Structure formats: C-alpha cells, structure tokens
Amino acid sequence: MSQFANYIGGQWVESDKLSRNVNPSNLDDVIGEFAQADAAQTHQAIAAARAAFPAWSQSTPQQRFDVLDRVGTVILERKAELGKLLAREEGKTLPEAIGEVGRAGQIFKFFAGETLRVGGEIVPSVRPGMTVEITREPLGVIGMITPWNFPIAIPAWKIAPALAYGNCVVIKPADLVPASTWELVRIIAEAGAPAGVINLVMGRGSVVGEILVESEGIDAISFTGSVATGRAIGAKCVQKGKKFQLEMGGKNPMVVLDDADLDVAVEACVNGSFYSTGQRCTASSRLIVTEGIHDRFVEAVKTRLSKIRVGDALDESTQIGPVVDERQLEQDERYIAIAREEGGTVFGGERVERATRGFFLAPALVTGTTPDMRINREEVFGPVASVIKVKDYNEALAVANDTEFGLSAGICTTSLKYANHFKRNVQAGMVMINTATAGVDYHVPFGGRKGSSYGPREQGSYAREFYTTVKTSYVFSGAI
C-alpha cells in the first residue's frame, strides 16, 4: 500500500496516523494511505510558511512567473494521468476529471501572467508638493481549507493567485480526496517553489482546519465548503482579526420559459443538475418551469434520464459516476424520501448495482414541488433536482430569488427581453443564459451572493482583491 506524507518546509514528513483514500466506484480499490497531520505538524507548517515569507514576498515577478508557468506546463502534460487519479478518488467521470485537471493547469498559466501585471497608481495629492502612490503588497501566510468535490481545481484556484502575488501557503485538502492535492503540491515543489512557500497538511477539519483558523501565524483564510463550516470559520476569523473569504453552498435555480428551445433547455438542465453526479456547488437543483412548456419539458428530461448510464467513473461509457461516499449517498436518499413525504413525485433516485461495489445512484427528478418544501430550500449536493411549475416569467423570477443562496442562476428563453431582465434582476453572482448553471471559465470572477459567498471573488484578476493588501504612500518632494 502506497503511503503519502505531508509536505512541510520543503520536506516530506510522515505521520503515525494514516487515512485510507478509497475509490467510490470500487470500494476494493484503495488509492493509498495519507498522513493525518497532528497539531504539532500543523504548527510546524505554519512556522515554515512564516519563515519563507520575507524572501518569497520580495521575489521578482519573473521568479514567480517561472514557477507558476512550469506548474501549469507539467499539469497540462500530465492531464490524462492526473485525471485518472482524480476520477478514482472523487468519482467524476474520466472526461470530467481530465477537464478539471486541464482547468487547474490553465489557472496556473493565467496567474503566471498575472505576476507581471501587478501595477499601482500615482495620484496627484490635494496638497502642494505631495504625490500619492497606491500599491499592492502580499498579505502574508494564507491558510486554505478545501472541499472534496473539486480536488485539484479549487486548490489550484486558491494556491495560484496566492503564490503569484507573493504569499506563502498552508493548505488542508478535504480528508476524503487528498491525492490530487498531494500531486499538485509535489508538482509545485518540483517546479522550484522555495522550501516553506507551499505546505500541505492533510487531516481532519476539527484538528488541522481549526488550528489554521485560530493560529496567529496565519494572516488570512480562504475556505470553500458547506455553509455551516464556513460561517463558523468566518466568526472565528472576525474574532482573530483575520481576512477571510468563504465560498459555500447553493440552491441554484434554472428557469425554463414557454418560449425556450426545448432541446437547449433539456441539455442545460440535464447537464447542470446531474453531471458530475450533481456534486457541484453550481448545480441546478431547482428547475422553475412555466406552465405552457412544463409537461413537454418534464417528459423530455425523464426520457434523457432513463437513458443515462450511471457507473464506474473510469468506464468510457459512463455518463454519471458514483456519489462520493456512503454518508453523501445517505444524505441524497434522505432528501429524496423527504421530497416524497412532502408530496413530490420522484422519478429515478434508486441505488444501482454495478460489477464493483460502489456508491451508485440513479439521477432523481422530483416533480410537483412547491418553493416552500425542504427539497427546494436546502442543498442536497447529489444527482437530485426538483421541478417547480409557475404561471409566468414574473413568478419564475420571484421563485428563483426566494432562497437564502445566490451562487449561480440560469434561464432558458429565446426572448432577449426576458434574458436581459433576468440577468439584471436575479440575485446571484453568476448568471447563465441558455446554458447550464455549472461550468465556468477559469479567467473570470467566480463567486456568489447572499448565503453562498462572503468576501472578494475568486479567480481571474479579481482574485487580487483577496490575496493582496493595498498601501497608500504620501511622498513630499518639497519646492525647488
């Protein structure tokens, strides 16, 4: 059995405690045993990052460009192999997993370029003989806490901008899926990041995560995960005076209007709701459909779902891989049962047997639901979507906004009038017109509103808002 150590101050450091990483498509396939950091190792990692910060924060943009560009090149070269590892540990299909790895590579390439684009401003002062300069500086040591559903892309979209702007990193990946992040950290180390600039501490949120949040040695926390964990972390960061950003859950609406192109709408909804096993924070979980198209739409989606192949993530014919683990599978089933008890009609949603032991669940479509039902208010995070029938566009928009979340929202319509109105009035950080609510570009801002997100956006040049701090300098040159 292969064992994987933590990476602290440029060294691979073993631990007495190990955690098994098991393939959700095949429970007999163990990817490896991963070190579980204890409190002492976590503090060592923080100290190593602090020690590395003065030199790395003063490094030239060219040094940082070279490291990030090499990381991007290696990830892209190893896309197929890393994609297979990701599909094995998380359960998304091979094409989805290779796509995620490719995105991680592109993110490093993008932020390599960003190292050269850190400008400032010179502003005339209101006072004579004075000039004002506005510059950006690195924040310090960033603690990163990531979820299990994007094991390489989310670590990449946090680490790349952090390093690009001269910060040092201590990252704790989700305990379920440490292998992809472990490979990413190895690539960064081998690409020439000096010792201590990147540190990996795998382990429990309640041990490693808590220390990152509490430690005086960590200047800022970037977190992606559930609302409950995120809010608790945010409250502690406020107490400690740390900068923080939270990316959390969603209950993303997809509106389908009578004038929609039915094929486009079905494609957008099946993809957005069920691909990646519905385990995307941007998944469309509420399908809000006007009454003129409702019955045709529901029939067409059911026809598509009845043909969808659920199975082993590595099997070429698979369209939807397994649920990530037993706990998540039970949560999906619990919500399907709740939807039934609330009066919804469930199509699909049963466990599926395959050649290997795995967590296979047929996608579930719940029809006949109303906005107040729990299935329409709480995040399920599985291949489960519900349909809400509405009278017209105005009711659809009101239902779309009737949620505590605000990550992504979509509309399928051939009307420019409705598309534009929706884009302007839906309460979400990202809006999709005639395309799935999930699936975003790597070079533009990502994030939401309301209960979904807190703090500056991730990705693209907007990531600079979180990973730098602004300094305003006054220079008095006097009169000649």
Tell me the C-alpha to C-alpha distance, in Å, between residue 227 and each of 234, 271, 379, 404.
10, 24, 10, 11
Does the protein bind ligand NAD through residue 11 (CB under 6 A)? no
CB of 132 to ligand NAD, least distance (A): 36
Q: Which is nearer to ligand NAD, 90 or 183 (CB)?
A: 90
Q: In whole angstroms, give the CA distance from residue 44 to residue 401.
A: 45
Residues forming beta bridges with residue 168, ordered by sequence position: 141
CB of 391 to ligand NAD, least distance (A): 30
Rule CB under 6 A: choose which of 29, 33, 66, 210 binds ligand NAD: 210
Q: Which of the ranges 16-24, 78-86, 147-155, 289-297 carries the binding residues for ligand NAD, by CB under 6 A? A: 147-155
Q: In whole angstroms, give the CA distance from residue 458 to residue 467.
A: 10
CB of 228 to ligand NAD, least distance (A): 7
3-state DSSP: the chain helix, strand, coil percent, rounded to 5?
A: 40, 25, 35
State the Cα angle at 171 between 169 and 174, rounded to 5°. 165
Does the protein bind ligand NAD through residue 224 (CB under 6 A)? yes
191, 63 in Cβ contact below 8 A? no
Locus of tokens 């026809």? 303
Does the protein bind ligand NAD through residue 151 (CB under 6 A)? no
Q: Which is nearer to ligand NAD, 110 or 381 (CB)?
A: 381
Rule CB under 6 A: choose which of 46, 313, 407, 463 binds ligand NAD: 407
Q: Which of the ranges 223-231, 254-262, 287-295, 435-443 carries the binding residues for ligand NAD, by CB under 6 A? A: 223-231
Does the protein bind ligand NAD through residue 175 (CB under 6 A)? yes
Q: What are phi and psi of 439, to 5 degrees?
A: 100, 95
Q: Is 168 a catalytic residue?
A: no
Rule CB under 6 A: choose which of 38, 90, 247, 312 binds ligand NAD: 247
Q: Which of 222, 157, 225 has its CA nearest to residue 443?
A: 157
Site string for ligand NAD, 426-455 (x = CB under 6 A): --------------------------x---
The first and second tokens of residue 224, run together, are 């992606």
CB of 445 to ligand NAD, least distance (A): 12
Q: In whole angstroms, give the CA distance from residue 350 to residue 329.
A: 11
DSSP string, 192-230: TPPTTSEEE--S-IIIIIHHHHH-TT--EEEEES-HHHH
Does the protein bind ligand NAD through residue 209 (CB under 6 A)? yes
Of 183, 247, 333, 379, which is the active-site residue?
247
Q: Is 237 a catalytic residue?
A: no
Q: Which residues are at the interface with ligand NAD (CB under 6 A)?
A: 145-150, 172, 174-175, 205-206, 209-210, 213, 224-226, 229, 233, 247-250, 281, 379, 381, 407, 452
Residues taking part in catalysis: 247, 281
